[in-house]
Structure 1
Amino acid sequence: MLPDKFKALSEAVFPYVVDCYRHLHAHPELSFLEFETSDFITNQLKSMDIPFRQGIGGTGVLGVITGNNPAKKTIALRADMDALPISEETGLAWKSLNNNVMHACGHDAHMACLLGAAKMLNELKNEFEGTVLLVFQPGEEKAPGGASLMLKDGVFDTLTPELIIGQHISEDYPTGTLAFRSGVVMASADEIHLTVKGQGGHGAKPHLCNDTVLAAAHTLVALQQVRSRLCPPLTPMVLTFGKLIANGETNVIPGEVKLSGTFRTFDEKWREEARGHIGRIIHDTCSAFGCAVDIEMPEGYPCLINNEEINCKSKQYASELLGENNILEFDQRLTSEDFSFFSQRYPACFYRFGTRGESNQHMGRSHTSGFCIDEKSLLTGTSGLAWIALGFLNG
């Protein structure tokens, strides 16, 4: 299909995408509670006569578009569905109608673009060979991650994709651009939760207590050696604790102190090794102060890996549609994404589409109450996703 003809179709679908985006933005739902969102998506698929399965991994949806010779090739396209516990302050006419829930990470845009791409691909299904799987995934923002639950629930047991494509908004790049990168592009993420326990008591009689606050403080300091002395110097990682609760008083040493943090890295081998170091240091430090400690360190999200061949081809197809000047490369970042579960199992490409334009240049960044996208970016997000899919199907 010629890019000009395709662009005309994408522009015709664009108003539909904007309508979907505004509806989804106004009706956000938290992780694993995306019931109305799931129903909205299935109603859209019904209106396009696209068959689907609902309730995968909780509220997940899988739509299926079959072209000519459906068995020739199967690819998957993914969008996440959940919102964040943030009270919106954008002043938009389509701002959130749900108290303290907001699409502040662009998942509304991801869903709208995938619905738009589905509409385009469904209209073009006589022009490609193969099958397209539409994955609408719950719970990206919350462990254990909706991607892992959908996989455990057999989302691809009947139809297995040869590759999977995902995208994410980025206010770092201007509207009309897509950004790619091969290899490990996002970090693993493991949560760490500690409860330091000891004999509490009067602050004037510390010799009769186990000072849980002091033990917790020394534990935080001791854990810094994981980065400075145990981690290979050229291996990126962060170990950050952002929560410490010690419900004592000026003269009361509490019986327990709770800490929570995150450990992230780009190296899966080091990840496994570091988890052992972290547990040992926590236990030994608390023990030195006569305190016991409960440690919860569930296995979180793995590293997100972009397959070099799939990424390069996706970048090539995007360049054909948008022009080389609108194709960028994004930097590695120690943020995480549960699309990584898909990327660990299937050749994958996870790219970013720019959402910075005139309409939102003074708005807040993602994960803030003032966040919003430039709606014009939805055209690139939709057409780019559909064009890349066609490239793989017809390639």
Structure 2
Amino acid sequence: MKGIVKELVRQTQQKVSEIYRHLHMYPELSFEEKETSAYITQILVDAGVPFRKNIGGYGIMARIEGKEKGRIIGLRADMDALFIQEANDIPFRSVNQHIMHACGHDAHTACLAGTTLILNQLRDKFDGIVLPIFQPGEEKHPGGARLMLEDGIFNEIKPELMIAQHTNMEIDSGKVTFGEGCVMASADEIHIVVKGKGGHGAMPHRINDTVLAASEIVVAVQQIVSRRRNPFIPAVITFGRLIADGATNIIPDKVTLAGTFRCMDNNERKRLKPLIRETIQHTAKACGCECEISIPEGYPAVTNDAFVTRKAANYAREILGSENVGEMERRMTSEDFGFFAETIPSTFYRLGVKGKNNPQCGEQHTDRFLIDESALITGVETFTYLALRFLQDKY
């Protein structure tokens, strides 16, 4: 099986590169992936692969059926880009102003498209069903994964397990990493409006100092992380936006804040969120102010099923070699794949994209992010082989 996969990946390599470059050149923002979706569906039509489209927005789920009934495996890639002006001087540079694939979703989609084409060629050689899922809106709340699930993506057929891969600029091309348990944090936005009676800064006794209240709130919520959190569970609260539209001697009637709450355990997350709200309200009140608080339900933590992940790592060693499969670094960043992993045993692994062809390129979410295209070979090989081995496995 390894030899067949490697040969088909070699034959498909140019097509996958073409798909990647096209997607990189024509990126679209979250929930605006109309042309990207049309491009992928045309590839599926040309290959004779059945699919459903417009799931949770512009989402697509293809269906590749083997020769007999068997296991059902889901493979997921995200399609959306970011609001960034690309700085790379390359022939396939983004033509869409202030929109760029700066997180590798173009590579994810290209790898899954290539994997779909190969599995379709091999459908008379395996039992079971593979469901390639092309997801919109990973980068933007409420998350395309959530919307696809709410739109009934699995009402008719549901995978027994799901697999996703994500690029990583810190890992060399040709390598992948796996991790069991929680590998990425949950993410909840915190939006606050502090209200009071503004006025002259020289007469604080006649006003309610909204700026002081906002400052106290920023400090107070840090004590939730340091004193109220289970010390064995990582969590972060960060405020990146504080707008007090006053002057050197003017306290405004209103101050707005926005921040993020991250946690590596979904139960601890649920316990701490009410405490965050309570602390904000009491702190504002202690300063003589009122406040409006919005903490919308964000992304859950990404928790890899231990059994599935262990199997996947072993299969990856078979196709890539043990020296090219490592341990995944856990991060406080988030991913809406957590919605799938909450309901279906899953594994989310990292694909190395750092190579000789892009040594000066930047990290994810920067204007100079660019993958080493040789990583596409590894991505397709791994995705394809994992799907086939899980289909074969009778555990």
- TM over 0.5, shorter chain: yes
What aligned pairs does 1:191-230 form with structure 2 within 5 A after superposition? Answer: 191-230=189-228
Partner residue of 1:25? 24
Partner residue of 1:116? 114
- What 5-or-longer segments of structure 1 have no aligned partner? none
User: 1:303: Cα distance to partner?
Assistant: 1.1
User: 1:132: Cα distance to partner?
Assistant: 0.7
**Aligned equivalent of 1:371, options 369, 372, 381:** 369
Partner residue of 2:319? 321
Partner residue of 1:58? 57
Distance in 2 separating the partners of 1:228 and 1:312? 33
Distance in 1 separating the partners of 2:4 and 2:41? 28
Residue 108 of structure 1 aligns with an amino acid whose one-letter code is: D
User: Following superposition, which runs of at least 4 residues in structure 1 exceed 3 angstroms of deviation?
Assistant: none
Residue deviations 1:265-288 (CA, integer Å, cap 9, x gap): 112221111111111110001001
2:301 matched to 1:303? Answer: yes
What aligned pairs does 1:98-113 form with structure 2 within 5 A after superposition? Answer: 98-113=96-111
**What TM-score do you get using the length of structure 1 for normalisation?**
0.98
- What 5-or-longer segments of structure 2 have no aligned partner? none
Partner residue of 2:267? 269
2:185 matched to 1:187? Answer: yes
User: 1:200: Cα distance to partner?
Assistant: 1.4
User: 1:208: Cα distance to partner?
Assistant: 1.8
Residue 87 of structure 1 aligns with an amino acid whose one-letter code is: Q
Partner residue of 1:140? 138
User: 1:5: Cα distance to partner?
Assistant: 2.6
Q: CA RMSD in A?
A: 0.8
Distance in 2 separating the partners of 1:323 and 1:315? 11
**Aligned equivalent of 1:165, options 163, 170, 177:** 163
Classify the secondary structure of the residue corresponding to 2:363.
coil
Classify the secondary structure of the residue corresponding to 1:343.
helix
User: 1:190: Cα distance to partner?
Assistant: 0.7
Partner residue of 2:173? 175
Residue 64 of structure 1 aligns with an amino acid whose one-letter code is: R
Classify the secondary structure of the residue corresponding to 2:357.
helix
Partner residue of 2:36? 37
**Aligned equivalent of 2:252, options 242, 251, 254:** 254
User: 1:172: Cα distance to partner?
Assistant: 1.3
Residue deviations 1:209-243 (CA, integer Å, cap 9, x gap): 11100100011111111111111222211010011
Partner residue of 2:13? 14
User: 1:26: Cα distance to partner?
Assistant: 0.5
**What TM-score do you get using the length of structure 2 for normalisation?**
0.98
Query: Which stretch has the larger CA shift, 82-91 or 260-269?
Result: 260-269
- The question of whether the paired residues in 1 share the 8 Å contact of 2:5 and 2:384 is answered with no
Residue 366 of structure 1 aligns with an amino acid whose one-letter code is: Q
Partner residue of 2:67? 68
Distance in 2 separating the partners of 1:5 and 1:215? 65
Classify the secondary structure of the residue corresponding to 2:63.
strand
Distance in 2 separating the partners of 1:266 and 1:242? 20
- The question of whether the paired residues in 1 share the 8 Å contact of 2:196 and 2:253 is answered with yes
Q: Percent same amino acid among aligned pairs?
A: 49
Distance in 2 separating the partners of 1:197 and 1:173? 47
Would you say how many aligned residue pairs link Structure 1 and Structure 2? 393
